[in-house]
Every structure is written in structure tokens, then in C-alpha cells.
A and B are shown apart, each in its own frame.
Chain A
């Protein structure tokens, strides 16, 4: 069986001050993704290698890594597409590294919570026995943003986030828009407080790399520009109109 070399980023904080690279030869199988190769390494060659994964089918968003320089889901990136190799596997960029390919994601989790990614609604007038119906066109408004799997590839691709991690970032804004544009939601104003800050939508310079990196076709860059329009509109209204008209 043909083989391919993986050049894997290693960082063992208890043993070494700086990261190193370690090479592993793995079978080059047509149906193997980078994640399968890492699992092979862990089971057959080196049980000390650390990385995150769960579903193996592009759903859970936990296996994001930098493969040959690009942010990728390692379960969806096939060895044969990078043959003859070597394939360099590094942790996602722009995040602190805990160990090997495992990054620290508290920052992202906190930002995600900050935009309140759930339906905010005053339900006191709703009849509990009636469904809140939505037309296909209303659903179209937010559907693509709802496909996000929180894989953080977009943060890894974003140079703005890399240079200043205070920027709230692509997926958080896309998810805010997922709810803002939902006809059942009434939380736009609350979310706007977070989004319209300097570190919110205005941090974005529209590089557009988040959209190219996203494995789910979410288009966070588009979501951010649309959120900018809303934020700008509201700012102009707040400036020109008295409160009771707005």
C-alpha cells in the first residue's frame, strides 16, 4: 500500500517550550480523510497525539485544523487531494494552542453567547396552541446562516481577528443575523448593542476570507455587511428621529 507523510504540529507544554513538527507515514487510502490518518497515527503509532473530533461527517464542527496552510475540517479533507504529500497539519490559526492540535476556544464561546443566538420574543400575546408560521421566503432570509456548525474555520481565516482578538468575529455575527432575520424574532435591538460596537461589525474590513473558508456555505462576510447596513440605519435614525417615532 502506498504511503503519505503527515507533518504534524506538536506542542507538549509539560515537556517543551516551543512547538515542533513530527512526521508520520500513514497509508494513502482513497477513502481516508486527514482525520482518519490522525486516528491511524493515534491507534497504531503514537497515542500521545491530541486533537478534537467527534462526528466524522462535517456536522459537529470540532475537527477544524490548518491543513497545508488552509483552515479545513479534517474529516472532510481527503489525503488523495494532497498526494503525494507531505501534508502539514497544524492547529487552527489565530487561537492559543493548549496542546498539539487542540486550541483554546473560550473566547469564541463567550462571543457566541454575547449575541444571544436564540429566538428572543415577548410571548405574552402568543396563543400557545398556534404555531408561528413562516413562509418559504421568510425562511430563506436566514436559512443559510442557520447552517453554521461553530467550527471556527472563519475565525482562523480572518486576519482582523488574528490581529485583534477583541473583534467579535464572523460566525458570531452570522448567527446574530440568523436570528435578526427570523420573522419570529424580536431581539434585533438587543443584539445591535453588541454588534454596533467598534469590536462588532465595524471591526470587519470585508476581506471576505471567512466566506471562502466556511465549509457550510454560511457566507459570514455577507452577513456582516448586511448587519453593517442595519447598524448604520439605526444610528442615523437614532440621530435624526425622536425616540417615540423610532
Chain B
């Protein structure tokens, strides 16, 4: 049950080098290079179809790249692992569409996500320890769903489902969080809460956020990476990126930001 920890002595938790993915000849990722620092909050932006979700698919083992290397810390080759292993090594993912377990309560959703032995027999015989109860309570507190703990997840609002899903990631105590479009479809207040939540997670965790909502990105990001046609077009602070001529032309220009 003790998985090796990512080695981050160089301050980098995720290395993606020369990664290419093609679907029937179409290059969804094209010689992509991306480094995520340990503990940082990084925003990924890019037009529809730029390859953001595909990038997350590669990191989490759902899509195998045709070429390139993907390492978790210096030591763990993610391309050798399958989805469950990658999750157990400490990479959590929130999907574009919220996918909580609707037939389970908020509490049970978190219970399933706890960081622990997830093999069949251990799960069959598992009893919640006091420490684990505290962990769940802590997460409920962080995501602001304490009063909803015994409600079925299916009854939650869209925003609450998004938070619950982030909470499920937290319960697993991951090192790296991949969050795909957390603000989509939320009300203004909910977007604010989500921004606070994600900012509070950086530091202890490394967080990669994909988002289209520019004001949201501006409110949370220190470093922004712009993807275009499967490779990195620009990287830097929001101001730097927004003044980048290439970016202006291919992406921001279109949206008129």
C-alpha cells in the first residue's frame, strides 16, 4: 500500500516532454512540453479543441501518447501505469462534467474517495477509523458542505456537485490536482467560492486548472499556459500572456479580451 512518492527535489512535480497524441492522423497534442512546479496553481487556457482535455487524459492514463515522456516527479513514469495506479500514486482529476456518485450521500462520496487501501478485500472489511472521520469532516468544512453531509449527491445543485467533486479529490490526499472547467455553469457567487477554494488548495497541493472564463483565470492564476493546436503557445503571468502578440492573434483576439 506504500506507493513511491514523486521526487520533487528540483521543484517540479510534473514533466511532460515532446508529447504527441493523434486521433486518426489529427494531432490533438503536438510535441507538447509542460512543467508544473510543486505546489503551484497553474491555469491552462486555449480555444475549444486546443487539446486541454486530451492533455489531462494523457496524465491520468486514459489516452496513451504516440510519443514523448510523462513523469510524476523525476522518478515515476506515468506512461507505465494504468488509471487506478495513477490515482493511487496521488494524481486526482475533476472532469469537465461533474461526476459525483448520485446514488450515494455526500458523506459516502467522500468516504469512498479517502486515501486508503482500495483493493477489494480491504474495502470489503473496512471500518472507518476516528482519524478518517476527522479527515472527512475536514474536507466537508473546506468545501462548505457540512450541512449537506447526509443528502444524496443527486440532490445537490450544480455548484455543490462541483465542490463535492473537488472534495473527493482532496479526501484522496493527492499531490497533483487536475481540474477541468470548474466554473462552467456556475453563478457568480459560486464562481467566487470556487476561486477561493482552489487558491486555498495550492501550496499543499499542486493544482492545474483548465478554464475558459477569463476573469476567473485572472482571479486565481499566477502562471498561465496557453495551448494552441496541441502545443504550448505562451506561458507566463496573465498580463504577459495577454500582451503576447501570437496569443492575441489566435486566441484572445477572437474573444476580444
Is B a genuine binding partner of A? no
List residues of chain B with CB under 8 Å of any chain A CB. none
List residues of chain A with CB under 8 Å of any chain B CB. none
